[in-house]
């Protein structure tokens, strides 16, 4: 198998199993976080109140990533920009809205969501390894995805890909979305991401206080987490048992 075919094969396999990477990051992050809490010299920062602002900064980075995903998904038709893992799906080629300035906005959103969590670990080497692994992991997924789109859409894809950057947006190229924002699609697809974020941030706060033998729990974060969990189950019920989100 030549190198191109090998990378494409790896990309397709990683695409199908791309949910594994977040679990590995989370498990490793918790271990490193506990280690760093036991030895504070490994932390980015010292004592509160700066720690509270740092946590808010991490939440902001993750929510920025989620916002990019919401904007992207809201302006795309069905059977594109989805969470499918069985195979590549693209009934149409998205070229307007955020796709007019960057080819892979969802992966940028994913990166920022998990970067916020990685920064929460407060360990320089963990963040560095996370960025490198994410790059290697998604580089192959992007290659396989673009091979699929190239085969399906031909010259239309080539023309779009030639002028549109893959990762770093070029805002000068922005073209207004050719369809209205679809809140129902966002609520169907992105409910998992929002609840996962607040559960993970709450988990890190709880572990940090427990390991550090403190009791300065972030109850505001826990309340937001609880609201997110309730919202998740409400949206899941609406999706599976009603026609409201169809």
- pLDDT at position 36 is 81
Residue 10 lies in a domain: yes
Residue 89 lies in a domain: yes
107 or 85, which is more confident: 107
Residue 35 lies in a domain: yes
Residues 141-179 have pLDDT tens digits of: 888 888 888 888 889 889 999 999 989 999 999 999 988
Residue 124 lies in a domain: yes
The tokens describing 223, both together, are 């309340």
Range of the domain at 163: 3-241
- pLDDT at position 214 is 77
pLDDT(113) > 60: yes
187 or 19, which is more confident: 187
Residue 225 lies in a domain: yes
Average pLDDT over residues 240-245: 85
Percent of the chain residues topping a pLDDT of 90:
43
As for how many domains the chain has, the answer is 1
Q: List the beta strands (DSSP E) in the chain.
A: none
Residue with tokens 């403190």: 214
- pLDDT at position 87 is 56
Average pLDDT over residues 210-226: 88
DSSP string, 74-91: HTS-TTSS----SS---S
Residue 44 lies in a domain: yes
Residue 181 lies in a domain: yes
Residue 246 lies in a domain: no
* Residue 81 near residue 73 (C-beta atoms within 8 A): yes
């Amino acid at each position: 198998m030549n190198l191109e075919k090998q990378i494409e094969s790896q990309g397709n396999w990683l695409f199908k199993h791309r949910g594994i990477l977040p679990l590995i990051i989370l498990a490793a992050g918790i271990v490193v976080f506990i280690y760093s809490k036991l030895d504070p010299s490994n932390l980015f920062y010292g004592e509160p109140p700066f720690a509270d602002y740092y946590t808010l900064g991490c939440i902001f980075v993750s929510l920025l990533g989620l916002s990019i995903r919401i904007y992207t998904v809201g302006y795309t038709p069905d059977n594109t920009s989805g969470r499918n893992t069985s195979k590549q799906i693209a009934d149409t080629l998205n070229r307007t809205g955020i796709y007019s300035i960057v080819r892979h906005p969802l992966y940028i959103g994913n990166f920022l969501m998990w970067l916020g969590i990685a920064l929460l670990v407060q360990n320089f080497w963990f963040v560095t390894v996370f960025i490198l692994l994410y790059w290697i992991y998604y580089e192959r997924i992007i290659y396989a995805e673009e091979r699929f789109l190239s085969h399906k859409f031909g010259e239309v894809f080539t023309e779009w890909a030639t002028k549109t950057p893959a990762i770093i947006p070029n805002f000068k190229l922005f073209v207004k979305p050719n369809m209205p924002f679809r809140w129902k699609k966002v609520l169907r697809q992105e409910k998992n991401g929002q609840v996962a974020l607040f559960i993970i941030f709450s988990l890190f706060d709880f572990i940090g206080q427990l390991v550090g033998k403190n009791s300065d729990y972030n109850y505001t974060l826990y309340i937001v987490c609880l609201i997110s969990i309730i919202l998740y189950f409400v949206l899941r019920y609406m999706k599976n048992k009603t026609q409201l989100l169809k």
